[in-house]
Amino acid sequence: SQKIEQNSEALNIQEGKTATLTCNYTNYSPAYLQWYRQDPGRGPVFLLLIRENEKEKRKERLKVTFDTTLKQSLFHITASQPADSATYLCAPLSGTYKYIFGTGTRLKVLA
């Protein structure tokens, strides 16, 4: 079955450093992969989408890579700030309509 793996352990980093989160998927080949941010008690918020023919996508301090050979996406936040503390969800597209979400990685940026 299709499976998404994100590091379930929380990631703590110092303010100003680059945070790198990993998303691995197995048993399928998504054409698109999205990253969402979720704050406690709130719904996820879309951050970035990357297509299978794109190696890298950037948006302000965010960068996403997509390696279809390794079946992995990396999500980077540069110059991290305490306001970046949240849970980040990876969601590869399955077929045309459906997404499979990872369990998310909780990021805490320490001041």
State in angstroms the smallest separation of the CB of 111 from other proteins.
27
Give me the residues that bind other proteins (CB under 8 A), please: 4, 8, 32, 34, 36, 41-46, 49, 89, 91, 93, 97-104
* CB atoms closer than 10 angstroms to residue 24: 16
Nearer of residues 48 and 74 to other proteins, judged by Cβ? 48
Residue closer to other proteins by CB (options 17, 59) is: 59
Give strand pairing partners of 64. 57, 75
Least distance to other proteins, CB of residue 44, Å: 5
Determine whether 30 is exposed, middle or buried from the number of CB atoms within 10 Å of its CB (0-12, 13-18, 19+).
Answer: buried
**Burial class of residue 49 in the structure, from the number of CB atoms within 10 Å of its CB (0-12 exposed, 13-18 middle, 19+ buried):** middle
Q: In angstroms, what is the minimal distance from the CB of 22 to other proteins? A: 15
